[in-house]
Structure 1
């Protein structure tokens, strides 16, 4: 395969890790594999979401690594307590997410963090196939993180099921 040939369909996430690593020249946090940011960008574009981000749990704090659009600039990469995590805010209806997907990133048998994608508008076209893509992206991100993380690290928590949520209630203008 030459550098310019694509052996995968743009709508598929069945991409070799080496293909992603070659395609990720952008700088990112040295503790996170640069491929994770490319996975987030690809996921956001394929699903037509406003943002996609990975959340790492470190000492009870949530740290986000993002790929937002202009509409989702409020997502920062600062650490915050888990009770303030984006997923909890969405589930408690404090953040206006019309469609929300998440999947755990499991590294060395424990939850490293979570992969999220969301849209401000409800999207009934999101299907189980889209959730499966998110789960596959979370597995790929876990593999990339696991390659850079020492094997002696203790698991954070047990894995949780992926989820999809749609909100269709009317919003005040």
Structure 2
């Protein structure tokens, strides 16, 4: 079915559904009708998108459809039937429609739902099985008011659907074209000045040009997050065969994809003793016990776990306290100007002391100046990475850094 068609199960904006259903219930109860609904016209059919009824077993349900030409809605919109019908059995044009006797339809009010561009989306309707001679122009005016409000909500929902579909198409295009590459940033042993491993980072070549986190967030929003991340991890792992066996490769992964088993599947057959998985402090882990249980068979094969972004503005240190990481990565915001900022030095020193007590090792990220490097070395930081030490590079250039 075309993307313009709406269904509650497909939209991320569930609040719009609630608003529209509440509006339908309000107008139905005010008019004393049995059924109220919002319909959509498309390709010669009449789709019931939202339905509210006083009955536990209503004659129509959301998702139903019928030929548009056989509907009251179409004939009201094109003027063959009036918007206000007090008794359908007294109207020859209404008796031509099978629904009049099949449902049956007694009283009926209906008006078009128009979008801001003038397009008719469908209708908002109320009907009862019995006639209602008390209905009047004030009731119809109220329905018009509700129609204007509901049209705004429908348009909001359509815009959200189209935006979501655009995201799906962008991310799918990236996946199909593999419009991303891996670069490798060296991680140095500070005391010895030698490379211990590389962190794999992703760069996207697709348009629009955006940072990797935007691509990953968008993929997650439309249900393609796992597929994109596993494609990226798979490509990054290909670089491992070009590195000497004593070097490790560090990969950024989502806790959700670890919990789903997707990461373990991608790592099958890989030398886990050479792999570090990084999880960020910014992404919550709802069940640490389950997370640890999923990681246990991997860590038993010497895979290492790193907690990334330690000391960043919103980091809570929960992962560090709960996961017993092998590596703790000091965030760039903590290492930046650490040589001149006493507060940063104090927090870094506390984390370094914690790591020494728990058997973890510290990796300082974002080292850009000699003064920062030297200060971290004096604080007994084991490892570091950053532009001062080495930029992220394609695998061939990264390997060229090795002695």
Q: TM-score range by the shorter chain?
A: 0.5 to 0.7
Aligned equivalents of 2:34 and 2:148: distance in 1?
A: 21
Q: What's the counterpart of residue 79 of structure 1?
A: 65
Query: 2:109 is matched with which residue?
Result: 101
Rounded Cα–Cα distance in structure 1 between residues aligned with 2:149 and 2:46:
20
Alignment of 1:24-173 (within 5 A): 28-31=8-11, 33-34=16-17, 35-64=19-48, 65-70=50-55, 73-76=58-61, 77-87=63-73, 91=94, 92-94=96-98, 95=100, 96-107=104-115, 108-150=117-159
Q: Aligned-pair distance for 1:149?
A: 2.0
d(CA) in 1 for partners of 2:133 and 2:114?
28
| Contact residue 51 and residue 72 of structure 1 kept, 8 A | no
- With 104-113 and 64-73 compared, the bigger mean Cα shift is at 64-73
Q: Secondary structure at the match of 1:109?
A: coil
C-alpha distance in 2 between matches for 1:83 and 1:47? 26
Partner in structure 2 of residue 3 of structure 1? none
* TM-score in terms of structure 1 length: 0.63
Matches of 2:109 and 2:9 in 1, distance apart? Answer: 24
Stretches of structure 1 that go unaligned for 5 or more consecutive residues are: 1-27, 154-173
**C-alpha separation between the residues in 1 aligned to 2:139 and 2:66?**
28
SS at match of 2:33: coil
When normalised by structure 2's length, the TM-score is: 0.29
Superposition RMSD on alpha carbons, in Å? 2.8
* CA deviation vs aligned residue, 1:6-49 (integer Å, no higher than 9, x gap): xxxxxxxxxxxxxxxxxxxxxx4545831111111111111100
Deviations 1:89-134 (A, max 9, x none): x622532322110000001211100111011111111111100111
Distance change (3 Å), C-alpha of 1:138 and 1:30: farther
> CA shift at 1:86, angstroms?
4.7
Shift in Å at residue 78 of structure 1? 1.7
Q: Give how far 1:71 is off.
A: 7.6
Higher relative contact order (CA 8 A, sep 6+): 1
Answer 1 or 2: which has greater helix percent: 2
Contact 2:46/2:71 (8 A) holds in 1: yes
Deviations 1:50-108 (A, max 9, x none): 111111112222111210221861113323221233546x6225323221100000012
Once residues 122 and 72 of structure 1 are traced to their aligned partners in structure 2, the CA distance between those partners, rounded to angstroms, is 20
Gaps of 5+ in 2: 1-7, 76-87, 89-93, 163-403
Cα distance in 1, alignment partners of residues 58 and 106 from structure 2: 17
Q: Distance in 2 between matches of 1:72 and 1:43?
A: 19
Q: Secondary structure at the match of 2:159?
A: coil
Conservation of the 8 A alpha-carbon contact between 1:105 and 1:113: yes
Cα distance in 2 between the residues matched to 1:50 and 1:57: 22
| C-alpha displacement of 1:148 | 2.3
4+ long deviations beyond 6 Å: none
